[in-house]
Each structure stands twice: as C-alpha cells, then as structure tokens.
C-alpha cells in the first residue's frame, strides 16, 4: 500500500480518517493514547502544506445527532497535543463542511463532526461516500482501530480518492507483521480474558500459527473444567467444554504447545483484597473462585518467554482491576518488558483490556509495540481481513 512517502500533499485537501473514539468519563477524556498517536501524521501533513481535514466516529450515536457525542472536545485535545490551533466544523458533510474546507489555508487543520451522526456512515451509503469524497483531493487512513468496519469514512471513501496509509496505520501494520506475518520464532501467544466463546476464532487461528499458546484469565477455568478439574464456583462456560477440548486437540496436532495454569489464586468473593490463597489448578475448593493465576504457573510462562523471539499478548491473566489479583499480569508484563529491553524479544500487545492491563503494569513504553486497537486487533488475531486495510492495498 501507499504511504505518505508517495503523497505530494502541498496545497491539497487531504481527508484524514482518524480514530478519535477515545474513552470518556463524565465528559472528560480518560486516555489520550489515540489522540497523541495521531500527532506525527497530522504534523507531517500540515508541515508539508496540506489542508488537513480530519474525520472520525465517536461512540455509537446510530445515525442521530447526539450532542454528548460531539467530537468538539477531541478537537480541543488534539489542538493541545499538537500545540497549534485546530478548526472545527459542526457537520462532516454538506454545506457546513464544504464551507469550512473552502476557508482553509495550506497547513491548517480542521476536525469534522462525528461521522456517525449520519446513518450513511455505517451503511457505507454511496451518497455519504460521495459527500465525503467531495471535500478532498486525497484520502489518508490512520485509523487502524476502525479498519474492521466497512463504513463510508473507512472503506467507501478510499475507493473514490487516491488513498494512503498514515504513519500510525503504517506502524500498526508493521507491528502486526512482526507478530504474526513473518515472525522470528519461537512465537509465544498469551491469550487471557473472561470467555472462550468470544475468542474461539482467535484461539483457533493462533494455535495454527504460534509455537506456544498460553491461556490465562477466566477462560482458562473453562479449559481446566473441561479436563474434569474441580473449579469450585469459578467463572466458566460449561457449554464450551467440548469446544475447549477440541481446541486443545487441534493445537496438539499443529505442534503448538498449550500452557494452562497449574496453580490458581482463589477467594470466596470477587472483591478487592478478598482473603485469598494459592491452590493447585485441579483443586479449587467448593465455594471458592479462581481470580488469578498462581506463581508456579507464571514460572512456566517465564521459562517459555525466555526462549521466545516473539510474543503476541491479548488479555489479562486475572482480575487485574482489583488487587491483589493483578499479580500474575503485572509479573508477566514486567518479565516481558525486561526481555524486550535486554534480550531483543519482539513483544506486541493489544485488544480491549490488554492496554489498560499493560498500562497498569507500567510497561507501555517498554514493549516493542502496543496497539491502540480493540476490536480490529482481535479480528486481525482471528486471521480476518480488515476492509479498511484491504482497500488501501487495491
């Protein structure tokens, strides 16, 4: 695909698809990672004298204008990160948007209002695509994290205008290629999280591609229970036992070593600092639940990581939001950070809770790459093609 190296942006109106869908609580942005990561592309385009027209969705307003879902606060945050003024247009298409663009000088930056205020966005409606394309001479996509959506502003418009990957998109794709495209071996994958049912395709795909698959989080309980182990009142999916056993069998046939916990940290209730103890993974007492993986299991994970060349990590080991059940996640994260710095381990993490877990462990800037994508990262781990990326290759 083409990058900014192939674009002559000077004097051009460049429509930049960003992902300004950032976490907000009580009207305040709680995590600026996605905003900060857009800075290199925006700055480069502005310095190279483009008119930078930024579009994005935020939240799920379902085709209606919902004032609380305006992108105005994100435009202000972007301005602060860039250290330069950012203009704002109250609509992303039509006369309001056209007039705002017409007034721009080279090197100026404009943020358009939420694309999902129009129902045509998610429908990838040709009229919406045309209206967006009319605003610009070229399209740059820097929203890897929205690339699993075939929407007007991610996929449709890329068919209408000369299209390029932005620097963030480029970095994400390069990191993903390092992780699974053409990785240095052995490759270890860590998959955690609550449910096997939401990660079936992911486990299936990874077990064909990696050398060692470590299963953690509550989904490990389902695997252990499927093997007939006593799990007390641990969270697990009884209806997934057959599937779990099939995954183990497929992995074994593919020569992928599966690592399940051998010990667990258990408590009577899911509460911060609940009285807890370590038990073997086949002996969770009645009335108790597993909330983290135990230290002996982490020793095994660390031994595999020491031999690994590449790590791909999705999902925490335990209930990392409530101490002390963050212990396994933090310990593994710190081991990964140390091996990345000192032994050249290529470590790539991403998807949903993973970023908060890695941030909690304080290792964000010591990993090779942490993706800012949630659903898109998961779909990519599942081996799916992402429409927003595919169209850039066309």
Q: CB under 6 A: which stretch of 141-149, 294-302, 304-312, 359-367 binds ligand 3PG?
A: 141-149
Please select the residue that binds ligand 3PG; options are 51, 149, 167, 199, rule is CB under 6 A: 149
Cβ neighbours around 209 below 10 Å, total: 18
**Binding of ligand 3PG by 19 (CB under 6 A):** yes
Respond yes or no: is residue 195 known to be catalytic: yes
Query: Which C-beta is closer to ligand 3PG: that of 33 or that of 79?
Result: 33
Respond yes or no: is residue 34 known to be catalytic: yes
Among 43, 375, 383, 384, the one annotated catalytic? 375
Decide: 171 and 48 in contact? Cβ < 8 Å.
Answer: no
Respond yes or no: is residue 375 known to be catalytic: yes
Cα dist. 222→43, 100, 178, 289, 370 in Å? 48, 55, 30, 12, 28
Looking at residue 117, the DSSP 8-state letter turns out to be: G
Among 63, 107, 352, 383, the one annotated catalytic? 352
Distance CA 142, CA 154 (A): 10
Give strand pairing partners of 215. Answer: 191
**Binding of ligand 3PG by 89 (CB under 6 A):** no
| Residue facing ligand 3PG at closest CB distance | 21
Compute the least distance from the CB of residue 105 to ligand 3PG, in Å.
30
Count Cβ atoms within 10 A of the Cβ of residue 96 and give its class: 0-12 exposed, 13-18 middle, 19 or more buried: middle
Output 329-334 pairs: Cβ under 8 A, ≥24 positions apart.
329/192, 329/292, 329/357, 329/360, 329/361, 330/360, 330/361, 331/295, 331/298, 332/190, 332/298, 332/301, 332/302, 332/305, 333/357, 333/358, 333/361, 333/362, 333/363, 334/361, 334/363
Among 2, 130, 195, 229, the one annotated catalytic? 195
Q: CB under 6 A: which stretch of 142-150, 179-187, 210-218, 292-300 binds ligand 3PG?
A: 142-150
Task: Answer whether the bond into residue 324 is a cis peptide, omega within 30°.
Answer: yes
Query: Which C-beta is closer to ligand 3PG: that of 146 or that of 187?
Result: 146
Among 12, 13, 34, 51, the one annotated catalytic? 34
Residue partners of 388: CB distance under 8 A and separation at least 6: 17, 141, 143, 144, 146, 147, 148, 149, 150, 154, 155, 158, 376
Residue carrying structure tokens 């907000």: 24
Query: Which C-beta is closer to ligand 3PG: that of 7 or that of 202?
Result: 202
Compute the least distance from the CB of residue 217 to ligand 3PG, in Å.
20
**Binding of ligand 3PG by 374 (CB under 6 A):** yes
Query: Which C-beta is closer to ligand 3PG: that of 21 or that of 329?
Result: 21
Provide the pairing of β-strand 263-267 with 276-280. Answer: antiparallel
Respond yes or no: is residue 352 known to be catalytic: yes
Distance CA 179, CA 188 (A): 10
Compute the least distance from the CB of residue 61 to ligand 3PG, in Å.
10
SS (HEC) of 129-187: HHHHHCCCCEEEECCHHHCCCCCHHHHHHHHHCCEEECHHHHHHHHHHHHHHHCCCCCE
Please select the residue that binds ligand 3PG; options are 141, 145, 354, 371, rule is CB under 6 A: 145
**Binding of ligand 3PG by 60 (CB under 6 A):** yes
Total interface residues for ligand 3PG by CB under 6 A:
8
Compute the least distance from the CB of residue 60 to ligand 3PG, in Å.
5
Q: Is 116 annotated as a binding residue?
A: yes
Tokens of 389: 């990326």
Please select the residue that binds ligand 3PG; options are 146, 187, 189, 218, rule is CB under 6 A: 146
Mask of contacts with ligand 3PG, 97-136, x by CB under 6 A?
----------------------------------------
Q: CB under 6 A: which stretch of 145-153, 231-239, 276-284, 360-368 binds ligand 3PG?
A: 145-153
Q: Which residues are annotated as a binding site?
A: 19-21, 34, 57-60, 116, 149, 199, 321, 351-354
- In the annotated binding site for ATP, the residues are 199, 321, 351-354
Residues marked as catalytic: 34, 195, 352, 375
Interface residue list for ligand 3PG (CB under 6 A): 19, 21, 60, 145-146, 149, 374-375
């Amino acid at each position: 695909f083409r990058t900014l190296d192939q674009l002559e942006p000077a004097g051009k109106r460049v429509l930049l698809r960003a992902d300004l869908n950032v976490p907000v609580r009580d009207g305040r942005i709680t995590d600026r990672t996605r905003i900060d990561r857009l800075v290199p592309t925006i700055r480069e385009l502005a310095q190279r004298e483009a008119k930078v027209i930024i579009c994005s969705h935020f939240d799920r307003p379902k085709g209606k204008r919902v004032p609380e879902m305006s992108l105005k606060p994100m435009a202000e945050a972007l301005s602060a990160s860039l250290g330069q003024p950012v203009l704002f247009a109250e609509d992303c298409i039509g006369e309001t948007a056209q007039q705002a663009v017409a007034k721009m000088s080279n090197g100026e930056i404009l943020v358009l209002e939420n694309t999902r205020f129009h129902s045509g966005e998610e429908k990838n409606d040709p009229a919406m695509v045309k209206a967006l394309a009319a605003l610009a001479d070229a399209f740059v996509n820097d929203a890897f994290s929205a690339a699993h959506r075939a929407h007007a502003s991610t996929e449709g418009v890329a068919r209408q205008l000369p299209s390029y990957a932005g620097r963030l998109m480029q970095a994400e794709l390069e990191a993903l290629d390092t992780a699974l495209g053409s990785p240095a071996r052995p490759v270890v994958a860590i998959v955690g999280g609550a449910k096997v049912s939401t990660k079936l395709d992911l486990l299936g795909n990874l077990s064909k591609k990696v050398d060692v698959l470590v299963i953690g989080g509550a989904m490990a309980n389902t695997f252990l229970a499927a093997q007939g182990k006593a799990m007390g009142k641990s969270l697990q999916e009884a209806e997934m036992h057959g599937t779990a056993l099939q995954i183990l069998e497929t992995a074994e046939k593919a020569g992928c070593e599966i690592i399940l916990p051998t010990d667990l940290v258990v408590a009577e209730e899911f509460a911060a600092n609940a009285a807890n103890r370590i038990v073997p993974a086949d002996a969770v007492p009645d009335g108790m639940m597993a909330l983290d993986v135990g230290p002996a299991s982490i020793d095994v994970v660390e031994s595999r990581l020491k031999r690994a060349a590449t790590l791909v990590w999705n999902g925490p080991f335990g209930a990392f939001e409530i101490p002390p059940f963050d212990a396994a996640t933090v310990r593994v994260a710190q081991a990964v950070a140390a091996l990345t710095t000192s032994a050249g381990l290529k470590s790539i993490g991403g998807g949903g809770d993973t970023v908060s877990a890695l941030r909690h462990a304080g290792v964000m800037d010591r990993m090779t790459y942490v993706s800012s994508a949630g659903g898109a990262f998961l779909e990519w781990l599942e081996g799916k093609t992402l429409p927003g990326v595919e169209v850039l290759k066309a």
